[in-house]
Amino acid sequence: MCEMADLLTFGALLERHEKEIFAYALRLVGDRDDADDVYQETFLAAFRAWPPPRRGQERAWLYRIATNKVIDRARRRKHLVRMSDLRLAAPERDGVSLADLAAAIKVLPEGQRAAFVLRKVEGLEYAEVAQALECSEDAARQRVAEAMKKVREAMR
């Protein structure tokens, strides 16, 4: 990336998505320091790979990079991604606490957990989830549906 226009475009992308990528990383790793590392690694990797493979889909591309960085970090540490500090905006209802919900999400398989967080927490469309997880839109829907089923079962 050497042209000034590319640098300005990348800077605008960083400014537009930095908070949501950090929040996504925090939800997956559960620790602010680790989330900050994932955030920095994500934007460094994005900078090195600029421009994205598909113009107009930069947001999903950033989520894909962040997801890969979280997976790489988990593999290096040889443990599952921690979600003990997951904080969602929903209030406690029906006797179910956020801690119960976080525990149910924590035990989901990695792919289902990422799909669930991208769709239900981050609010991405299924097409964006599919691109971020490098799967078909049908597979993204399936992962979210399976995750929802398992979360509901765990919450009973």
pLDDT single digits (tens) 16-39: 999 999 999 988 888 898 899 999
Quote the number of domains for the chain.
1
Q: Does pLDDT of 12 surpass 70?
A: yes
Average pLDDT over residues 119-142: 88
How many whole angstroms separate alpha carbon 104 and alpha carbon 155? 7
pLDDT at 79: 40
The residues near 66 (Cβ < 8 Å, ≥ 6 apart) are 21, 24, 25, 28, 38, 39, 42
For residue 38, the domain's CATH number is: 1.20.140.160
Average pLDDT over residues 74-97: 53
Q: Which domain holds residue 75?
A: 4-155
How many whole angstroms separate alpha carbon 156 and alpha carbon 59? 35
Q: Are 31 and 74 in contact (CB under 8 A)?
A: no
Average pLDDT over residues 72-96: 54
The tokens 């900050």 sit on which residue?
Answer: 36
pLDDT at 147: 92
Sequence-ordered alpha helix ranges (H) in the chain? 4-29, 32-49, 58-77, 98-106, 110-116, 126-133, 137-155
Rounded-to-10 torsion of CA 21, 143, 153, 120: 30
Q: Which of 49, 60, 51, 58 is nearest to 131 (CA)?
A: 60
Higher-confidence position of 89 and 26: 26
How many whole angstroms separate alpha carbon 146 and alpha carbon 110? 12
Structure tokens at 48: 């090195």
How many whole angstroms separate alpha carbon 51 and alpha carbon 138? 27
